[in-house]
Amino acid sequence: MSETKSGPQPRDSVLEIKAYVPGTAREGGGKVFKLSSNESPLGSSARARQAYVAAAEHLEAYPDGGATVLRKAIGAKYGIDPARIVCGAGSDELIGLLCHTYLEPGDETLYSQYGFLMYKISTLASGGVPVVAPETDRVADVDALLACVTDRTRLVFLANPNNPTGTYLPFEEVQRLHAGLPKNVILVIDAAYAEYVRRNDYSAGIDLVANSSNVVMMRTFSKIHGLAAVRLGWAFCPEAIADILNRVRGPFNVNAPAIAAGVAAINDTAFMDTAIAHNEQWLPWLTEKLEGLGLGVTPSVGNFLLIEFPDVDGRRAADADTTLQDNGVYVRRMEAYGLPACLRITVGTEEANRLVVDVLGKLMGKG
């Protein structure tokens, strides 16, 4: 890539990576609402915070490298074998581990057009080649994905529901995708927003993992549990894949306070129910209000909305972002996904949601 190769050089594909830009929230006076990273508007479980603080009494000790109590708690909650659960410092780490482990240079990963950005970044970091299948109406298209499978395909990433679109595939479609894949290809179902979905035809995919040798389902504590700061995620895997991930992961990749907080969070059903009920109330409210302003709103089953401004050049989305920031609201710009006319807005507190509608209403001449 560079003309002089005298200094240290990474693998070529790494130079194609544009660093992930996290959602912003500037410091400053006044009240600020961070609706840019799909974080929980309700904070986290008080029990999880107490467990985290209690774990701080023993920072001198290495954590349990197997995160045993956490895997047991997850296993009990979902009725799955803890031996087939691998925990990570966020599901981002698990995405990276899968790429590092299953890709030889030149091997391909496959995901859909508006699929989560980390799939591309982790693929390139591992010397792999990202392949992108077109979507139909901002929904992953199983036929388009299957048409892109080659003999170099090793991993297919499906965020279900997907971020940033908020759309999902019914379980029958996920099964059809799996059935069409060669046995040496791993289907990775990233179900980061599974708890929010209120649809009878949805499944996070636990049964598919249980009954096949090439499906992995990933979950995170960053969204419904409100524990994004502690970095905690997990994967339910076929035995052989769990064995491989356990060989390559850092021996202490999940820290002790995170393990303690995770156990408390997964057992705090009341907190989860409150978070689900909040989203069930405000997601449809925001959808209706924003559509009423003349904005394009992609139907979402997650805790966020992708909205599109009528102007084609995208100027209006950028202006709206600035205006929202002036009012203390931080949302996510979508240029990195090739959607410059769009913004992604996390469902916030009642106060934040009303403010968003208010500010955008004025901007659209309907306030």
Ligand X SMILES: *Cc1c(COP(=O)(O)O)cnc(C)c1O
Q: Is 233 in the site for ligand X (CB under 6 A)?
A: yes
Q: Is 90 in the site for ligand X (CB under 6 A)?
A: yes
Among positions 132-171, residues that touch ligand X (CB under 6 A) are 159, 163
For the CB of residue 329, give the shortest distance to ligand X in the complex, in Å.
20
Q: Is 181 in the site for ligand X (CB under 6 A)?
A: no
For the CB of residue 245, give the shortest distance to ligand X in the complex, in Å.
15
Q: Which is nearer to ligand X, 124 or 235 (CB)?
A: 235
Selected range binding ligand X among 7-15, 122-130, 219-227, 351-359, rule: CB under 6 A:
219-227
Question: Directed axis angle between helix 269-292 and helix 350-363, to 10°?
Answer: 10
Selected range binding ligand X among 26-34, 41-49, 75-83, 90-98, rule: CB under 6 A:
90-98
For the CB of residue 156, give the shortest distance to ligand X in the complex, in Å.
14
Q: Which is nearer to ligand X, 122 or 222 (CB)?
A: 222
DSSP state of 353: H
Q: Which is nearer to ligand X, 8 or 22 (CB)?
A: 22
DSSP state of 288: H
Q: Is 262 in the site for ligand X (CB under 6 A)?
A: no
Sign of the alpha-carbon torsion through 57, 59, 62, 65: positive
- State how far the Cα of 267 lies from the Cα of 360, in Å rounded to an integer: 39
Structure tokens, 115: 């699929």
- State how far the Cα of 109 lies from the Cα of 164, in Å rounded to an integer: 19
DSSP state of 344: E
Q: Which is nearer to ligand X, 228 or 363 (CB)?
A: 228
Are 64 and 247 in contact by the 8 Å Cβ rule? The answer is no
- State how far the Cα of 51 lies from the Cα of 335, in Å rounded to an integer: 39
Q: Is 96 in the site for ligand X (CB under 6 A)?
A: no
Q: Is 63 in the site for ligand X (CB under 6 A)?
A: no
Q: Which is nearer to ligand X, 232 or 307 (CB)?
A: 232
Count of residues binding ligand X (CB under 6 A)? 14
For the CB of residue 221, give the shortest distance to ligand X in the complex, in Å.
7
| Residue 292: closest CA among 365, 355, 343 | 365
Q: Is 91 in the site for ligand X (CB under 6 A)?
A: yes
- State how far the Cα of 45 lies from the Cα of 268, in Å rounded to an integer: 7
CB atoms < 10 A from the CB of 86, how many? 27
Q: Which is nearer to ligand X, 215 or 355 (CB)?
A: 215
Selected range binding ligand X among 61-69, 222-230, 321-329, 353-361, rule: CB under 6 A:
222-230
Q: How would you classify the pairing of strands 153-159 and 186-190?
A: parallel
Q: Is 195 in the site for ligand X (CB under 6 A)?
A: no
79: region left, alpha or beta (phi > 0 left; psi from -120 to 50 alpha): left
For the CB of residue 175, give the shortest distance to ligand X in the complex, in Å.
20
Alpha-helical runs (H) found in 12-86: 46-55, 68-78
Report in angstroms the alpha-carbon separations of 32 from 25, 80, 319, 331.
Answer: 7, 40, 18, 11
The closest residue (CB) to ligand X is: 90
Q: How many residues does the chain have?
A: 367
Q: Which is nearer to ligand X, 278 or 316 (CB)?
A: 278
Structure tokens, 125: 């970091």
Are 84 and 238 in contact by the 8 Å Cβ rule? The answer is yes
Taking CB under 6 A as the criterion, the residue among 122, 126, 203, 222 binding ligand X is 222
Selected range binding ligand X among 47-55, 87-95, 252-260, 268-276, rule: CB under 6 A:
87-95
Q: Which is nearer to ligand X, 102 or 196 (CB)?
A: 196
Sign of the alpha-carbon torsion through 47, 51, 52, 57: positive
Q: Is 228 in the site for ligand X (CB under 6 A)?
A: yes
Q: Which is nearer to ligand X, 34 or 316 (CB)?
A: 34
Q: Is 220 in the site for ligand X (CB under 6 A)?
A: yes
Which positions lie near ligand X, rule CB under 6 A? 38, 90-92, 116, 159, 163, 190, 192, 220, 222-223, 228, 233
